[in-house]
Amino acid sequence: MITMKKFATIIPVIAGLVMITLFSSFIIKGNGNVVSEKRNVSEFTAIDVSHGFDVIITQGDACTVEVEADENLQEVIVTKVKNGVLHVYAKENIRKAKKTAIYISFKELEMLEASGAVDLETAGVVTGRKLKVRCSGASDLELYVEYEDIRIDVSGASDLDIEGSTHFLNADVSGASDIDAFQLDAAKVIVDASGASNIKVHALKSIEAEASGASDIKYKGNPEILGISTSGAGDVRKL
């Protein structure tokens, strides 16, 4: 006979087993047979990628997407454009894939967002007027860009290496993340670092910097100091 005490103990165990079963049913493993598939997409000026893909982006004459992945994963990897944004994600949890690479080409890029352990890099220089970059969830980005205005938000243990040139850079880094912008020549710089994060910038004309919570801001160049603020163990220094 099951007592109320035993019943109360069994219920959480059963619930846990049910959750494991449900989660496992949404996991798909790659079959090891890598194939390439070109996707039909409409024009876009923004990219939003998630789910741990390896992504290479290129500026060109047309908007194109090619997916190189295990054959049975092709139907799981979604590439769709909505309101000018190319969304790339997986419908199910992918495990043990031999390859999950996404090759994206575009004419203009105004916004780039990567989350969930995405590795993304540019092939060649990307140019334009304004660019917003958001990076989170342990993602890793390497960008070579030339824009008039660049705004960056990096969080959640992510890393961003960016080089090129810009007239204005506004960067916000938090959550144990890192931004290396030493190779990005920026005329005017505004930077905010928090939560044990690190950022390096190259300021040519002016800089405003705020560091808090064991964060570290390093800058090079001889800019006019428009304002520097530190709190906690935050530090701002010139190299």
Whole-number pLDDT of residue 77: 98
Whole-number pLDDT of residue 26: 75
**pLDDT tens-digit map of 112-127:** 999 999 999 999 999 9
Q: How far is the C-alpha of 236 from the C-alpha of 239, rounded, in Å?
A: 10
pLDDT band for position 5 (50/70/90)? very low
Q: Is the pLDDT of residue 217 over 70?
A: yes
Q: Is the pLDDT of residue 69 over 90?
A: yes
How many percent of the chain have pLDDT more than 70? 90
| Torsion angle of C-alpha atoms 220, 222, 228, 234, degrees rounded to 10 | 20
Cβ atoms of 88 and 50 closer than 8 Å: yes
Stretch 224-232: mean pLDDT: 96
Cβ atoms of 107 and 63 closer than 8 Å: yes
Q: How far is the C-alpha of 152 from the C-alpha of 142, rounded, in Å?
A: 13
Whole-number pLDDT of residue 96: 87
**pLDDT tens-digit map of 135-194:** 999 999 999 999 999 999 999 999 999 999 999 999 999 999 999 999 999 999 999 999
Length of the chain: 239
The SS3 call for residue 125 is coil
Q: Is the pLDDT of residue 21 over 80?
A: no
How many percent of the chain have pLDDT more than 90? 88
Stretch 19-42: mean pLDDT: 79
Stretch 89-97: mean pLDDT: 93
Q: Is the pLDDT of residue 8 over 90?
A: no
125-238: which CATH number, 3.20.20.10, 3.40.50.740, 2.160.20.120, 3.40.50.620? 2.160.20.120
**pLDDT tens-digit map of 10-20:** 454 444 433 44
Instruction: Identify the CATH number of the domain defined by range 34-124.
Output: 2.160.20.120
Angle at 199 between CA 193 and CA 205, to 5 degrees: 95
Q: Is the pLDDT of residue 130 over 70?
A: yes
Please state the domain extents for the chain. Answer: 34-124, 125-238
Whole-number pLDDT of residue 171: 99
